[in-house]
Amino acid sequence: MDKLPVLKKNREFQRIYNKGKFAASALLVVYVLPNGLPVTRLGITASRKAGKAVKRNRMRRLIRENARILYNRLEKGFDVVIVARKTEKIVNLDIVGRELRYLLRKLELLKDKDNRENDV
C-alpha cells in the first residue's frame, strides 16, 4: 500500500492553523485549508499537553490508521491537520474513528454521506 501524502514542514502547519477552518471535539481538533493540488495532504500532531510520549504516540498511531482507512473518501485538494487533545478517557481505534468521521463530515470533507457505518 502506498503511503499517505503528508505535511512535514512547520510553515505548512502554521499556514493551516492561521488561515484554515477548524472543528473540535473532546479528543481531536481538525484544521482544513484548500491547497490547490490534486491530492489531500495530512498532518498529525500531539503536543506535550496530550500526555507523555507513549500516550502521544498511541494517539498518533490511532489517528494515522483511521486517516488511512478514510483517505479515499476525503475530498481532494485540501491540507488537513489533525491535533490530538488532552484526554483522560481510554481511547481505541473505534472511538478515534468515530470522532474523526464526525469532524470531517462537519467540515464537509467526507464523501459518501449515505455510507455511515457505526457513526454517531
Tens digit of pLDDT for each residue in 24-42? 999 999 999 999 999 999 9
Distances (CA, A) of 65 to 14, 19, 59, 71, 89: 24, 26, 10, 10, 19
68 within some domain: yes
pLDDT at residue 119, as a whole number: 52
Q: Over 90: is that where the pLDDT of 120 sits?
A: no
The model's pLDDT over 29-85, given as tens digits with 9 standing for 90+, comes to 999 999 999 999 999 999 898 889 999 999 999 999 999 999 999 999 999 999 999
55 within some domain: yes
- The H or E element spanning position 11 is helix 10-19
Pick 112 or 115 by higher pLDDT.
Answer: 112
72 within some domain: yes
21 within some domain: yes
- Of 64, 86, 79, 108, nearest in space to 16 by CA: 79
CB-CB neighbours of 31 under 10 Å: 23
Question: Is 58 within 8 Å of 96 (Cβ atoms)?
Answer: no
40 within some domain: yes
pLDDT at residue 53, as a whole number: 94
Q: How many domains does the chain have?
A: 1
pLDDT at residue 2, as a whole number: 73
